[in-house]
Amino acid sequence: MLRLISPALAASTTIIDTLKARLGRVSPARILALGGPPVRRPPLYDPSLNPEQYLSIPVLDQNPDERACREVYLRGQFLARQDRWSDLAHEITTAESGRKTSPGGMPLADLLAYGARSDVVHRVEHALQDGASAKDTALNDGIDALESMHRDHPDTPVITLIVALTHIDIGWAWRGTSWETIVPALNRSRCAAHFDRAQHLLSPLCGIELNSPLLAAARCAQLAGQRDPQSSIADDYEDLIDLDPRNYRHMRALGNHLLPRWFGSYQQLELEARRTASRTQDIWGAGAYSWVYFDAIATDENACAHVDVGFFIDGLHDILKARPDQAMVNLLASYCAVALRHGLGLSSEADFPRMQIADSARWLIRDHLKQLHPMIWAHAADGFDNNARVTSLPRFAARGQAHALQAIADQFRDDINRGQRVTFTSEGAELHSA
């Protein structure tokens, strides 16, 4: 029976949702279902402080990684539109075998595969948003064409994988983001049917045997359609992470799916965080412990109350040793300064560890920040919610920049109050008399 809660981070779609946000489209079907009314949160920063008067920092509006991701996505879309499926399969296989990524670490195979199925998925999403009836051809023509194409390539695993991923995406489109109790029976049925078809397509394939992280991620993504996902979640994610240990997004997805609201427990979350850290120590040091808990403690108060704070903070330091680039610095700094603070006041047991970790923003910003990436901060302000609707990228980025400047000013508050101006250079933060 399909677990009718939509994930915040699904293993095979984390990268895709990030790309959608960069392209101005964010998935409408991947919101974490949390109970209760919206919580009124206290302001994070002193509203009387105008940070732009005292801060000077280079702002990266669009980096090479964003352009590279878009180019690869469009390449996959182009090959599919030209029915060059053999060429597409070859390029995906080549990208996977070499673990090729964009400058920011996005696997090129994932981007090619998403581009290849994007037309079909988007058509279904748009049709459902427009209130199409169940018999509307827009809901079936695309996937029927892919299934027909698949029959022409029965022995090409990459083609099978693309069709399966399309079914998973369409399944979530049918499911939507409503509460389980108000999802129409037809939508539930169609969602379950697409997940069943994906499972049927994927069951003969093994990511380990085919050396395919994309396939292993797809098997993790279709856990939501299994009747007993608890029995295989740890093994499936272990295979995925062992195939692609440098991709931290898989570890974030693992932690989210191990929450009790999904397929795990707090005890299993702690165990798998430590096991993953042990297996990837040569790459991330203690960093994998932090990655597994990254989204879990930001969204779940009990997980936050029980995290090993010292281990987590050690992991943040080790992550920067492994990935000292400014995109990573912005991600970790925005997580600590903005995303983590959203849960303050919801649980007294969680508040202390939450603030201990959030205080890492100080050394991340003061010791490592050299450049501002507004889009990363904008996503942090939304709690890295893949369901957030981005109607205007410039406004979204401007909001992220405002949050970042406030957070940076907060870390230099005492210096600013003493009349200092903070300038960020390639060497880091420097203080000058205003």
Which tens digit of pLDDT belongs to each residue from 337-354?
999 998 888 888 999 999
Task: Give the domain range for residue 172.
Answer: 65-227
Write the DSSP assignment of 263-323 as a string of letters: T--HHHHHHHHHHHHHHTHHHHTTHHHHHHHHHHHHH-HHHHHHS-HHHHHHHHHHHHHH-
Mean pLDDT of 194-216: 96
**Does a structural domain hold residue 285?**
no
Q: What is the mean pLDDT of residues 152-166?
A: 96
Is 389 a domain residue? no
Query: With 60 as the cut, is the pLDDT of residue 274 above it?
Result: yes
Q: What is the pLDDT of residues 44-77, one digit of tens each?
A: 445 566 788 889 999 998 778 888 999 999 999 9
156 in any annotated domain: yes
**Count of domains in the chain?**
1
pLDDT of 5 > 60? The answer is no
Residue 122 belongs to some domain of the structure: yes
21 pLDDT exceeds 80?
A: no
Residue 84: pLDDT above 80?
yes
| Kind of pairing between the strands at 420-425 and 55-56 | parallel
Domain assignment present for 134: yes
Would you say residue 251 lies in a domain? Answer: no
CA dihedral 228, 231, 234, 236 (to 10 degrees): -70
**Cβ proximity of 124 and 138 under 8 Å:** yes
Residues of the chain by 3-state class (helix, strand, coil), percent to 5: 65, 5, 30
State the pLDDT at residue 19: 53
Read off the pLDDT band of 225 (50, 70, 90): confident
- Asked whether residue 357 is domain-assigned, the answer is no
Residue at 380 is within a domain: no
The pLDDT value recorded for residue 293 is 98
Q: Binning pLDDT at 50, 70 and 90, where does residue 10 land?
A: very low
